[in-house]
Chains A and B, each alone.
Chain A
Amino acid sequence: DAGVIQSPRHEVTEMGQEVTLRCKPISGHNSLFWYRQTMMRGLELLIYFNNNVPIDDSGMPEDRFSAKMPNASFSTLKIQPSEPRDSAVYFCASSLQAGGPHEQYFGPGTRLTVT
């Protein structure tokens, strides 16, 4: 298996633009997590899905952030409009749900810079 795949790896955009980050979880995993990592705030959980259904989105900072998981093999995190303070590394992770506890497998991350 190729592991968790994220795209793009790097994104530079101007304030006000829409940004879409993509994630393909490991095949067979039914939990998916979106995290944001910054020096100031560390690693923060934004939202997670079980069986494609959003379970907890309390970590989503504002209405500008939205996430979808249309099927078991694809998820997106969208920021619209983007702001400079959204600059961070965004990670997607996946794991098994049933029969836990289970480790999470992280993707390589998307480094977002908003100017």
Chain B
Amino acid sequence: SQQGEEDPQALSIQEGENATMNCSYKTSINNLQWYRQNSGRGLVHLILIRSNEREKHSGRLRVTLDTSKKSSSLLITASRAADTASYFCATDGAGNMLTFGGGTRLMVKP
């Protein structure tokens, strides 16, 4: 079963606009990670946020975490066509296990 569920499942925006993806999870976590997957490729780690952090930035990425609501959001500012990909949240479990959500498919139109 999936721990994290992304919303929306698909998102289409114009280049230059901001894209916001949300992730909800069910059980307590120590950290939450976001990954990106280009079509036909493996997943690539974007950012990790710990449970005691509320917000984290990396370049055009901004991640928030609300542990009281068991939710996280990924904001991509000033989107580019190259940002077109699927984005997954992943929550930690026993050992080094990660449980991935179903992903949000983002399309950025030039």
Binding site for B on A (CB under 8 A): 4, 31, 33, 42-43, 45, 48, 50, 55-56, 91, 93, 95, 97, 100-109
Contacts and interface: CB of A to CB of B under 8 A. Distances in A.
B42 interface: yes
A101 B31 contact: yes
Nearest to A111: B40
A101 B41 contact: no
Interface residues of B, number: 23
Given A45-B99, A101-B92, A91 B30 contact: no
A43 B97 contact: no
A36 to B, nearest CB: 11
B2 interface: yes
Interface in B37-62: 41-45, 48, 50
B94 A56 contact: yes
Given A4-B42, A43-B88, A108-B42, A50 B48 contact: no
Contacts of B102: 42
B96 interface: yes
Contacts of B98: 33, 45, 104
A43 to B, nearest CB: 4
Given A42-B2, A103-B45, A106-B44, A56 B97 contact: yes
Q: Determine chain A's interface SS by DSSP, over half rule.
A: strand
B100 A43 contact: yes
Contacts of A31: 95-96
A106 B95 contact: no
B41 A104 contact: no
Given A42-B100, A43-B100, A101-B31, A48 B95 contact: yes
A101 B33 CA distance: 10
Interface string B70-102: 000000000000000000100010111111111
A91 B103 contact: no
B97 A91 contact: no
A105 B42 CA distance: 9
Nearest to B1: A44
